[in-house]
Amino acid sequence: MAKDDWYLRHRDRIEHGPYSQADLAAAAAQGNITDETEVRHAVHTQNKWVKALRVRFVAEALPKPPKTTPSNEFHGLESLGEQQRNTRLRRMSNRPTIPTTWLGAFAAIFDFRFRYFVTPYIIRVTWAIVVAVLAFQVTLSGLGTIALIVGELHDSDESAAIARPRIPQVDNIPSPVFAPSPVLEKLERFRLHVIIYVGTIVATILFGLWVRIGLEFTMAIVRGAEDLHALRDLFENGKARP
């Protein structure tokens, strides 16, 4: 056996050769040597059959696989599942989160990118204000009813006094005139101004909060439409939008 004689065999175990090192390298470059091909050489392999791919010059001569992106029509189930997972993660990353604390909800009101969803907190605050106003109104109505009853009883006492016989000596005594106190008038005006001011502030805050609810609802519709469009692209074209 010559020093440069190489022999090879494929899966059929039929021996071929002898070949030179250049012949084996050319065969490897043409793809004629696979992972099942074996070679032997009197010196390099000590006349033993070894895998051809373990020989250095054969492995280096193998054609390199092309670095191309597979087309959409060859995507398998695993690729489709990966795209579905990426689409789901994208939707979750774009989905607004609900703050876990009232302080976080208050700070989220000033988030102009709508990364947080504060509608549940706004609904709670609105309901608390409604309950407080109703309780205040019921209390005022109760006090007004009591004052009305007491006033009617007082008017009936005055009517009875007018109906009694007139006594000249007593009737000629002038009754005192009770003028309203200036302090009480100022307090009444101050109370009225406070009620108007507080009512205006509360109404303005409620208006702003419900505008926020409307905007969050609009953003939810827009994001839902984007998700539906991405899913449609995924199932129709096998490709999700980035």
Q: At 241, is the pLDDT very low, low, confident or very high (cuts 50, 70, 90)? A: very low
Which residue shows structure tokens 């205006």?
Answer: 200
pLDDT in tens, 78-101: 455 555 555 554 554 556 778 888
Q: Given a cut of 80, is residue 123 above it in pLDDT?
A: yes
CA separation for the pair 222, 227 (Å, rounded): 9
Q: Which residues contact 206 (CB under 8 A, 6 or more apart)?
A: 126, 129
B/e letters for 179-188, b = 16+ CB within 10 Å, e = fewer, are eeeeeeeeee
Q: What is the mean pLDDT of residues 204-229?
A: 81
What is residue 196's DSSP assignment?
H
Cβ atoms < 10 Å from Cβ of 39? 24
Q: Given a cut of 50, is residue 216 above it in pLDDT?
A: yes
What percent of the chain clears pLDDT 90, i.e. is strictly above it? 0
pLDDT in tens, 134-146: 888 888 888 878 8
Q: What secondary structure does DSSP assign to 115-136, as a single string?
A: -B--HHHHHHHHHHHHHHHHHH
Q: Residue 46 has what pLDDT?
A: 84
